[in-house]
Amino acid sequence: MSNGIRQRGSIFTGLLLIVIGVIFLLDRFDPTFHLGHLIRMYWPVLIILWGLAKLIDYFAAQRSGEPRAALLSGGEAALMILLAFVLAGFVFRDWIRDHYPDIDVDIPPFHQSYSQSRQIASQTLPTGAHVLIDIGYGDITIHGVDSSDLRIGLKESAWALSQSAADEQMRNTDIVVEQMGSTYHVHPVRRGVFQPRVSTDLDIALPRTTSVEIRTDRGDIDVGGIVAAVAVRSGTGDIDVHDSGSDIAAELQHGDAKISGVSGNVKLTGRGDDVDLSNVSGDATIEGAFVGSIRASNIAKTLRCTSPWSDLTVTHLTGRLEADSGDISLSGASGPVRLVAHNKDFDVKNVSGRIEIVNTHGDVKVNYAAPPHDGLSVTNDSGDTDVTLPAGSSFGINAVSRSGEVKSDFEAASLKTSNEEDRGQINGTVGAGGPMFNITTSYGTIRLHKAG
């Protein structure tokens, strides 16, 4: 029986509807927005909104004298359950996209793929032109040619219930070349509102001396034979840039990156899986969370790899660097080397410059092919450190294992080795003296090996 006093409604229902609407709107405008990742990170914001809404309801009820709203009404509970299903759906969809990129989770059931190929009328590009290619979905292949023409081959693919429906989708999508000053913008044009997605694969030939910038949300990018600057950005897909005569800037979100034969600098950013860099005449920089193997070889200047779990700098990489989830190996460098990582095993060989290694929870091995001419610094924790040198090497050493022991194949009157009370230490010089070795470790053994 009602007492005649109307209970005040809560603003929380309105806030939930706004949140659901914003989520669907963001996904509609940009399906590659990675809403699932955003939800996993910031879902506690919903609890904050709930608390703010209840505080507002409480103070509003106090001012008006009305009974305050219930903590959670039946309608709000139903909306929260709906929102939970929506958020979980987006999280699961992004997980599928990340782990199984070949599966297109946006395709409705019972649809089939239909394709058609055609050529776009060629254009003559002036000297110093810049080409910007920006498509949403599809692979892009670029060939540098000895010609002044821009030639575009196009393959369109649409998912539909029938050939006629797919043809209609493809008729409503076109690729145009729009000139803006010295920039030629290659991009899709969709007729009508809320058109279904059409995948567009481009095979483009353009003058070698033309600088090019490429963007795609989903698709592989392959660029070869361009002697001007190249910039690529891919949301989901592999990147392959080769035989380039200038600087390369690449951004990746999911996929592999392969860059080779570059007469300039290389910068790779973002996140992804495997990375392979080779034959770069300038500096090479890798910044981001690349969770696969990172391989680099023949980097003429400085290689810098920065990630949440390591910071690697190698100058004049004449050999090969390989880093994966558990190991970092380096073979061949003529300049200074600095390697910082966690939970990794190091294997370093044939480095003629100064070596600095900072490691935790892993073993360190350093092998000199020739007597060292520069210093070595190793700071290790919970791991062994092994250094191998030729028999005729000359060096100074200060090595301490705080909770372990030391072992040495080298003997000299000025070299003192002690293992007492779980603490090992080596101090002194070998031969005529030379570069200084400073080695510190905890819970591990330090070994100096004499190569045969």
Kind and range of the H or E element at 440? Answer: strand 436-441
Residue owning tokens 């110093």 = 128
CA distances from 311 to 336, 356, 389 (A): 14, 12, 26
Least confident of 81-85, 285-289, 311-315, 333-337: 81-85
Kindly state the DSSP code that residue 422 receives in the 8-state scheme: T
- Give the CA count within 13 Å in the CB-facing half-sphere of 379: 7
Mean pLDDT of the chain: 86
CA distances from 257 to 137, 195, 225, 284 (A): 18, 32, 17, 13
CA 331 to chain centre: 24
pLDDT 10s digits, 143-180: 999 999 999 999 888 776 677 777 777 777 788 999 99
In this prediction, residue 15 carries a pLDDT of 75
pLDDT 10s digits, 8-44: 556 767 777 787 777 777 666 555 556 666 777 777 7
pLDDT 10s digits, 326-336: 899 999 999 99
Measured from the Cβ of residue 199, the count of other Cβ atoms closer than 10 Å reads: 21
CA distances from 282 to 228, 315, 338, 353 (A): 15, 11, 18, 19
In this prediction, residue 103 carries a pLDDT of 53
pLDDT of 439 higher than 70: yes
Query: Maximum CA pair distance of the chain?
Result: 103
User: Smallest Cα–Cα separation from 380: which of 367, 395, 397, 361?
Assistant: 361
- Residue 274 corresponds to which tokens in the numbers above? 């495997």
Kindly state the DSSP code that residue 384 receives in the 8-state scheme: -
Please tell me the total number of residues recorded for the chain in this structure.
Answer: 452
Dist CA 127 CA 364 (whole Å): 53
Q: What percent of the chain is predicted at pLDDT more than 70?
A: 85
pLDDT 10s digits, 59-101: 777 777 666 666 666 666 777 787 778 778 777 776 666 665 5
- Residue 253 corresponds to which tokens in the numbers above? 């979100």
Report the DSSP beta bridge partners of residue 339. 312, 357
